[in-house]
Amino acid sequence: MKIGFTETVLRDANQSLIATRMPLSVFEPILEKMDQAGYYSVECWGGATFDSCLRYLDEDPWERLRIIKAKMPNTKLQMLLRGQNLLGYKHYPDDVVRKFVQHSVKNGIDIIRIFDALNDIRNIEVAVDETLKCGAHASGAISYTTSPVHTLAKFAELCKEMQKMGVQSICIKDMAGVMSPKEAYDLVSAIKDKVDLPLVLHTHCTTGLAFMTYLKGIEAGADVIDTSISIFSGGTAQPATETLAYALEQFGYETGLRHDVLKDVNDFFKPYFNECLATGLLDPTVMGTATEALDYKIPGGMLSNLISQLKSQNAMDKFPEVLEETPRVRKDMGYPPLVTPLSQMVGVQAATNVLLGERYKSIGKEIKAYVRGEYGRAPGEIDQELKKKILGDEKPIECRPADLLEPEFEKTKAMLGDRAESDEDVLSYIAFPQVAEKFFADREKKMQNMARYSIEAIE
């Protein structure tokens, strides 16, 4: 029996521990080595990497991907895609989603993990379809959460629908690190009963459950796990690659991993880890174990947002009340998974309800949009009174939100003209307009400077 390993140091661990600030120049020298490690895949793109490249690192994300591909010809490169939202939180029209997928594959991506925050399958269908058309591997991910409407049967049904769409693997994506060993065992068993596809487990060490969760998930039949090289593992990131390989191999599982290579990879990242600690880029508190998320059923990141919100309003005495109000708001909203941006929306509304001393006296505009159906279908029933209060006589959107959007790619391309040097530039602009605009301008300036230097050199 073989267990595949997806290495996350370049994407999720990088994003979870150091806010995705690892530049290509840091990890480029180790890519050829990583290529020999025997990973099932290396997650290296998507998520926040794209925004971070343009916004903070002065890097073209597409160029980063091409360089990784050139140095890792033997390893499957993986990215995370938020379905119809691509790398952000708003819905993009279908032509943009298709172009984005096409260029991701063309520039080097082999596996696209596609999810929707609400598990509304309509929001992933176009991305899945295009991934398959491009000949890449589409992995359908479910956003893991617990609630009365998120039953094992419902999750298994969702996976079956994704299989019908043509996904080649299923991923259970526990972004908050709250899936327990028992829940993993039961969920993997339930899915494996209904769906004959490779199953990937994704979690974080935040609450300390992750190693056990993976082990029980594997006992129930999971095929692939997401891990990070040990120096950049643990805390809010994934469990350590080497540790899990060590433990699983004793049980007789094959991992396909080369331990000598993993050691070199780990040694390579050690000085950079220390540098991150020294500069403060890495806050040591993210390396600890925080079990509050288990007590309150609220993800760690959301909990710290709530605390800082209350502190800023000098209202920490209301914290217990807000903790009680949060699950009530979530219930009113039909139990959305508490992932970005829904975690923030639910948290802010719960705090507002408590601080104003009256429920839904003031309602955030994102919550209104959600209740109108602009994010997709809620997992459960939205509270009738809340619906009435927000919608009045207006009808919620029943269709897939992107059905209401006009094509955007060609229009944007024409608008950008010379400023976009490629279709990839157009996509960068559509994803993050202001950031991309500034990136293009800086790039132009750099090119002019370079031209000037070369003329001076000739003279």
Looking at the Cβ atoms of 43 and 94, the one nearer to Co ion is: 43
Identify residues 155-184 at the interface with Co ion (CB under 5 A).
Answer: 175
Cα–Cα nearest to 179, from 160, 202, 152, 153: 202
Q: How far is the CB of 83 from Co ion (least distance, A)?
A: 15
CA 179 vs CA 129, 186, 348, 420: distances in Å: 29, 11, 24, 43
Site size for Co ion (CB under 5 A): 2
Q: How far is the CB of 175 from Co ion (least distance, A)?
A: 5
- 405 and 433 in contact (C-beta within 8 Å)? no
Q: How far is the CB of 451 from Co ion (least distance, A)?
A: 43
Looking at the Cβ atoms of 79 and 175, the one nearer to Co ion is: 175
Looking at the Cβ atoms of 202 and 359, the one nearer to Co ion is: 202
Q: How far is the CB of 356 from Co ion (least distance, A)?
A: 34
* From 5-13, 90-98, 159-167, 278-286, span contacting Co ion (CB under 5 A): 5-13
Residue from 7, 12, 332, 425 in contact with Co ion (CB under 5 A): 12
Chain-centroid distance, C-alpha 277: 24
Looking at the Cβ atoms of 228 and 309, the one nearer to Co ion is: 228
**Three-state secondary-structure class, residue 440:** helix
Q: How far is the CB of 32 from Co ion (least distance, A)?
A: 26
Interface with Co ion, residue 333, by CB under 5 A: no
Looking at the Cβ atoms of 175 and 248, the one nearer to Co ion is: 175
* Amino acid identity, position 370: Y
Q: How far is the CB of 370 from Co ion (least distance, A)?
A: 22
* Amino acid identity, position 305: N
Q: How far is the CB of 115 from Co ion (least distance, A)?
A: 10
Helix (H) or strand (E) holding 90: none
* From 4-12, 63-71, 182-190, 392-400, span contacting Co ion (CB under 5 A): 4-12
Q: How far is the CB of 8 from Co ion (least distance, A)?
A: 8
Residues listed for the chain: 459
Interface with Co ion, residue 9, by CB under 5 A: no
Cα–Cα nearest to 55, from 448, 450, 437: 437
Question: At a CB cut-off of 8 Å and minimum separation 6, what does 434 contact?
Answer: none
Locus of tokens 């800082």: 308
Looking at the Cβ atoms of 200 and 310, the one nearer to Co ion is: 200
Looking at the Cβ atoms of 8 and 428, the one nearer to Co ion is: 8
Interface with Co ion, residue 60, by CB under 5 A: no
* Amino acid identity, position 317: D
Interface with Co ion, residue 130, by CB under 5 A: no
What's the rounded Cα separation, in Å, for the pair 5 and 241?
8
Cα–Cα nearest to 426, from 103, 149, 119, 107: 103
Interface with Co ion, residue 7, by CB under 5 A: no
Q: CA 372, 174, 20 angle in degrees (round to 5)?
A: 90
Looking at the Cβ atoms of 96 and 224, the one nearer to Co ion is: 224
CA 126 vs CA 18, 95, 98, 161, 363: distances in Å: 32, 9, 7, 14, 32
Q: In the complex, which residues of this chain contact Co ion (CB under 5 A)?
A: 12, 175
